[in-house]
Chains A and B, each alone.
Chain A
Amino acid sequence: MKSHISTTINGDSVEFLCDPSQTLLQVLRNDLGMTGTKEGCGSGDCGACSVILDGELVCACLVLGVEAQDAAIETVEGVAAHDQLHVIQEKFLEHAALQCGICTPGLIVSTKALLEENPSPTEEEARYFLAGNLCRCTGYDKIIKAVMDAAATMRQGA
């Protein structure tokens, strides 16, 4: 028996039917066609499926679809305003903070959560906050530089 769920994703009202065992990640990717959120492990270890659920950074693979009822969800698809990239996205490109790019959506969302919580992180704080987002290509160096630069730019803009 599927549940009928009403939720908000990136500001849009969305309704979907889901099996009680389906994860939010499966709903986003397979039922809603929102494949920007990636799956790297399905067990909450890699952070590729990071989304913001009611203001909290979560792995969408560890949340059930039914938990989205009445929630506000933010995914990577909602970070840019139309074609205007968010500062975090611009800095990732400027610093070449991605190679294959599979971890990038999760890192963009996690960085957004970090900077909303702590607009002036030290490098060490950024490294620990983002420790749940695995990247196998970059060695994190350019990611951290992009994050620190985005933080500085956002502080100036604020």
Chain B
Amino acid sequence: MSEAREFKHIGQRTIRPDGFDKVTGKANYGADLSLPGMIWGAILRSPHAHANIKKLDVSRAQASPDVLAIATFEDFPSVNAAAQRNGSQRKDLMDTACNIFANQKVLYHGHAVAAIAARSQAAAIAALDLIDVEYEVLTPVLNINDAISADAPILHETMMTQGLAEPATEASNVSARMELKKGDIEAGFAAADVIVERAYDTPTVHQGYIEPHATTVVFNDNGPSMIWCPTQGHFDVRARVAQLMNLELGQIKVVASEIGGGFGGKTTVYLEPVALILSKKSGRPVKMEMSRGDVFRASGPASASQSRIKIGAKMDGTITAMQATLHYEAGAFQGSPMGPGCMTVFTPYDVENLYVEGFDVVVNKPKVAAYRAPGAPQSEFAAEMAVNELAKKIGMDPIEFRLKNAAKEGTQTIYGPKLKVVGLVACLEAAKSSPHYNAPIPENVGRGLAAGFWFNIGGQSSVIINLNPDGTGTIIEGSPDIGGSRASMQMMAAEILGVAPSSLNPIVADTEHVAYNQTTGGSRTTFATGMAVVEAAEDIVEQLKARAAAMWNVTAEQVDFTDGVAHNLSGEDQLTLAEICASAEKTGGQISGRANINARGAGPSFAVHICDIKVDKETGKTDVVRYTAIQDAGKAIHPSYVEGQFQGGAVQGIGWALNEEYVYSKDGIMENAGFLDYRIPLASDLPEIEAIIVEVPNSFHPFGVRGVGETGIIPPLAAVGTAVAEAIGQPISSLPCSPPKILKLLMAAH
């Protein structure tokens, strides 16, 4: 990959193939499918954050002629049996079941208790009143400090902390502890001239996709049942539902509708198994939708966190030691992204001595789901804030300080592998020469800068490309397209086949029409599914050569295929791809390419963001006045959608840093479960987001691609936090930097 390659289509800004349907309202999302005879499901949710269910009586509902089916936890009778069979996934599967329907105990405000199906949505909602539930209300545990205190109410009587030096003997709200280390942390601090040690916290936030969860399900006893839903991974929906319902994979077909945002939050199941139970019981297609309030109260969110960071450096800017203690809220069931949080926290730095410990803590809030680089924004926020403070203390520019310690090829990570070729230094250099960084800081404005690291993954993807007799074709893939990936698939296939991208129609097939694909997540789609598309197209090229050879009576080795044209190396003959396809009938039948891969070699993506913030000293209101996002894409297949990932990630991070947070009453009732009070950034809140694409190719991908979807949400938290700190002249230790908090800091300073 050392030489710059010339591409025909890669790197162009083509019109996305699914665009027409999306700007005209024709595209069908999760809530857009209705079927003949369809009825509606609705869910009864807990009004309490923590309570024992003393009685759950559905007899009045059962007697109502309006009610066509009822579902509760009892409808998962096979969960224990299925969980046994699935071995290691047992606990996880049980938790999923208990999250979909409370099992004797409700663990958060909004936890599903029962469901009803009726002829209309309104009738189903009205009939929920016919379900009688008696609760014994328990004291809720609403934050990490309360959860780990000695006299904390225990959420799960059987939960013992895993990963302790001595096995735990008592139930705890801490599900697990982990530890990572490198070098000698004590010696590292002893060698430091300056040490910064601080505690930070971040709130519970939601992915905030605009499309609520929704599904339409048809149970079928004589063939596969059909589940239509917006998901990042329809194959995993199939697997999850099959486990919960004790079905074989072949008994379920999942159709991934267009998806209205996910950001990690649409990687699990909430409504789908419930709708399947209701459909089975009623014999009707069943549709279910979450309200926006349900989405906030009972899906997602991302972990609140508490972090303690200690960093030591010499006066010349060499970091000698970095230490972190990280607590993550998992919500009502274990499984926060503590692991990736610990692994990523210090990875932008090449430092000898590291020590990180993490804790996974359950609280009476919804079970967390993945959110863009899960775990990393929280931990890297804390690390980057401390790094900036340390740079300031020793009088170094934050870019120079990072350049002096930057992770690069060969850096030994704390979690195992050494880094291969990475683009952090290139991003820092791009930041240094950016117009933004070289612009003077306006009056009353603070400037902050931060870096971010995310691994990215590869994994399994399956692709089929079918060519038609006229040379057009279909790319059949199985990665739900969450932000324009069909455009990049089209471009990559077109590059190999030498045809116009628009002649190839990419579709995201259901679980029956393409082999297994891993979930769209981990920034894997353009990398891994893209690699499968390239291999499937190369498979076609080999076949095209063989067909042309047959037509010319030469061997395939005597045929070259370049830019969509086969050339007979022993003569003057040429055949275009379309001409070979037109003759396919005579040369052995139609032409399809195929690739089923498990992609290795995902390239990490680093980013550096710069943020200027103005603070209104009278109200504490913050305004982002300038913002630049710089990130390594390896190779940008479609630069507009790469920039879009940088910009979208940046703005989600800005929201996290400035405004977004779950607000709970002391009883654990979420008080801002709507977009009016849970305030995500608006168009009027923001300036232009300048996006700078850095390209340090990943040699493991045929075009050099690195995933770009996730890293962009990491740096904003500390870039914004540092900018606010600079603007008000006070350290920032807690997100969000909402006006009341900033005002308090300003007033305390006077």
Contact = CB atoms under 8 A, between A and B. Distances in A.
A89 B23 contact: yes
Interface string B619-654: 000000000000000000010110111011111100
Is the contact region of chain A dominated by helix, strand, or loop, or is it mixed?
loop
A136 B482 CA distance: 12
Nearest to B487: A96
B56 interface: no
Contact of B261 (A130, A137, A140): A137
A60 interface: no
A98 B22 contact: yes
Interface string A26-57: 00011001111111111101101000000000
Contacts of A33: 34
Nearest to A83: B20
Contacts of B26: 36, 77
Contacts of B29: 35, 38, 102
B28 A35 contact: yes
A36 B291 contact: no
A99 B641 contact: yes
A139 B651 contact: yes
A135 B19 CA distance: 16
Given A93-B23, A100-B259, A101-B22, A41 B675 contact: yes
Interface in A120-149: 124, 126-128, 130-131, 133-144
A98 B675 contact: no
B122 A40 contact: no
Chain A CB count within 10 A is highest, among B258, B259, B674, for B674
Contacts of B375: none
B122 A21 contact: yes
Given A93-B16, A136-B209, A136-B210, A104 B683 contact: no
Interface residues of B, number: 62
A101 B258 contact: yes
Given A93-B23, A140-B686, A43 B647 contact: no
A40 B212 contact: yes
Contacts of B134: none
A66 interface: no
Contacts of B16: 93, 96
A40 B289 CA distance: 11
Contact of A103 (B210, B289, B685, B689): B210
B208 A43 contact: no
Contact of A108 (B23, B27, B484, B647): B23
Contacts of A94: 15
A81 to B, nearest CB: 11
Contacts of B121: 30
A45 B677 CA distance: 10
Contacts of A43: 292, 674-676
Contact of A30 (B34, B261, B681): B34
Interface in B546-587: none
Contact of B24 (A46, A80, A130, A133): A80
B260 interface: yes
Given A35-B28, A48-B210, A140-B683, A99 B644 contact: yes
Contact of B260 (A21, A36, A101, A138): A101
B23 A85 contact: yes
A19 interface: yes
Contact of A133 (B211, B683, B688): B683
B37 interface: no
A79 interface: yes
Contacts of A105: 23, 25
A100 B686 contact: no
Nearest to A109: B25
A139 B260 contact: no
B606 interface: no
A129 to B, nearest CB: 9
B673 to A, nearest CB: 10
Given A101-B27, A136-B209, A139-B681, 15 more contacts: A34-B25, A36-B26, A40-B260, A76-B24, A85-B24, A100-B260, A100-B483, A102-B260, A105-B23, A131-B683, A139-B644, A139-B652, A140-B651, A141-B691, A142-B640
Among all A-B residue pairs, the 7 with the closest Cβ atoms: A36-B25, A102-B260, A139-B651, A96-B640, A101-B22, A45-B675, A139-B647
22 contacts: A38-B210, A40-B260, A40-B292, A43-B292, A45-B676, A85-B24, A93-B23, A98-B22, A99-B644, A100-B262, A100-B483, A101-B18, A101-B260, A105-B25, A127-B684, A134-B210, A136-B261, A139-B652, A139-B686, A140-B683, A141-B643, A142-B644
